[in-house]
Structure 1
Amino acid sequence: MARPLRRRFCTALLGLAEAAVALPAAAEPQDGVDYLTLPARLPTDTGRKVEVIEFFAYYCPHCYAFEPVLNAWVRRQGDNIVFKRVHVARDAGVAPQQRLFFTLEAMGLLEQYHDKVFDAMHVERLRLNSDEQVFDWAEKNGIERAKFVDTYRSFGIQQRLRRADAMMDAYHIDRWPVVAIGGRYLTSPSHAGAYANEARTEAQQQEVALKVMDYLVAKAKQ
């Protein structure tokens, strides 16, 4: 029997800030306030390095806005972490974008094309909500169409999609962007920034989230 569909949505960053009670910006991040702790630590495969996973979607404007500051944070962390991304599922309109992400990943092209997909959607306003649109985009950007299509439709990509869905369930992901740290902690710009006095713009919320992420990486290393 098919599992009932769960409502999933892109985090509304600014609305949550107005609804929250402000806490001192300098206070140590608090569990249940600035981040959430899962009931049990999920397995990771990164050895002594801390696993950091971003759950995101290409269509999501807040994911797009978070991308440059998140990338800079990942670079600053260096060897402290192993950074991964998981493109979330939502509905049939998002499925081609999710398949696009995992196809690029499987082909070893993600680093080269990840930002280009974001720009295609948010600058060029391409919808990329059908397989053919994705195939046309890939070919236009210099990827061999036949090879891309074969990978896109492969059993291996189907397995990656199932694993992404399982990870969303395991981490209780129902909004995005969300960052999971050490298999145990969850935070996001909307979550961490909602409780800080100074965080009233999206950029400010992002900066607060990065501070919380620093704290959680250190906590996970302990």
Structure 2
Amino acid sequence: HYSVLTTAQGTSSSPDVVEVAEVFWYGCPHCYNFDPYIVKWEEELPEGVELVRLPVMWNPTNEIHARMFYTADALGVLDEMHTAIFKEMHLNQKQLTSESDIEALFGTYGVSSEDFQKTFRSFPVETKLKKAKSLTQRYRIQSVPLLVVNGKYVVTGPGIKNFEDMIAVGEELIAVEQAEL
């Protein structure tokens, strides 16, 4: 159901918070199908638990999609765009692998070309991309979607039959971590 990382990784949340990272890729059909479950689960998470999203960084296509994610976050439009990006790719069959296509999509959410250009290759976005690449390696991510609970437990693999199972195992590990706080 889950594996334990040999070396626990630090989290971006405060020490009294259990962090759950959803590792995903916009181009992954399973991640697209998992998104509604994650959105609902995030609303139900108990006090002291924080969900963060981590775009996987394996290759140049993942990188441009991660850059899109962090650009949306930096511009304050991630909440409205995250699910919409999945739909654009999976329902409308848009690959979103060129900067111009991504800029056009951002334009439909009220982001000016100037703001997009200033942000897409900005230092804060580059810094987050480097961190995402490092975490992809340190978490030893081989497939997506998956959950990483408090930088220690990777929920994926045999025994996980469906998205409900993944969330149930995540909840068990959250309880373990909360008991240790």
**Structure-1 residue corresponding to 2:174:** 217
SS of the equivalent of 1:94 reads: helix
Uncovered stretches (5+) of structure 1, i.e. residues with no partner = 1-33, 194-198, 200-204
Give the conservation status (yes or no) of the 8 Å contact 1:94–1:129.
no
The reply to whether residue 38 of structure 1 matches residue 5 of structure 2 is yes
How far apart, CA to CA, are the structure 2 residues paired with 1:159 and 1:72? 29
Partner of 2:27: 59
Q: Report if the CA contact (8 A) 1:88-1:164 is conserved.
A: yes
Tell me which amino acid in the other structure corresponds to 2:136.
M
Is 1:208 equivalent to 2:165 in the alignment? yes
Structure 2 contact 103–113 (Cα < 8 Å) conserved? yes
Q: Structure 1 CA distance, aligned partners of 2:132 and 2:40?
A: 25
Aligned to 1:17: none
Is the contact between residue 18 and residue 149 of structure 2 (CA under 8 Å) also seen in structure 1? yes
Equivalent positions of 1:12-23 (< 5 A) are none
Segments of 5+ residues of structure 2 without an aligned counterpart are none
Correspondences of 1:136-175 after superposition (within 5 Å): 136-175=104-143
Q: Distance in 2 between matches of 1:73 and 1:191?
A: 22
Offset from partner CA, 1:179-216 (integer Å, 9 cap, x none): 0001110103x5442xxxxx4xxxxx111111111101
Tell me if 1:107 matches 2:75. Answer: yes
Query: 3-state DSSP class of the match of 2:8?
Result: coil
Quote the Cα distance in structure 2 between the aligned partners of 1:83 and 1:208: 17
Q: How many residues align?
A: 178
Residue of structure 2 in register with 1:116 after alignment = 84
Deviations 1:70-93 (A, max 9, x none): 221221113231110111123223
**C-alpha deviation, 1:141, in angstroms:** 3.0
- Percent identity of paired positions between Structure 1 and Structure 2: 27
Contact 1:97-1:134 at 8 Å conserved across structures: no
C-alpha deviation, 1:132, in angstroms: 1.0
- Alignment partner of 2:60: what SS? coil
**Which has the higher Rg, Structure 1 or Structure 2?**
1
Structure 2 distance, partners of 1:183, 1:89, is 17
TM-score by length of 2: 0.92
The CA RMSD over aligned residues, in Å, is 1.5
Normalized against structure 1, the TM-score is what? 0.75
Return the offset for 1:148: 1.0
Q: Secondary structure at the match of 1:113?
A: helix
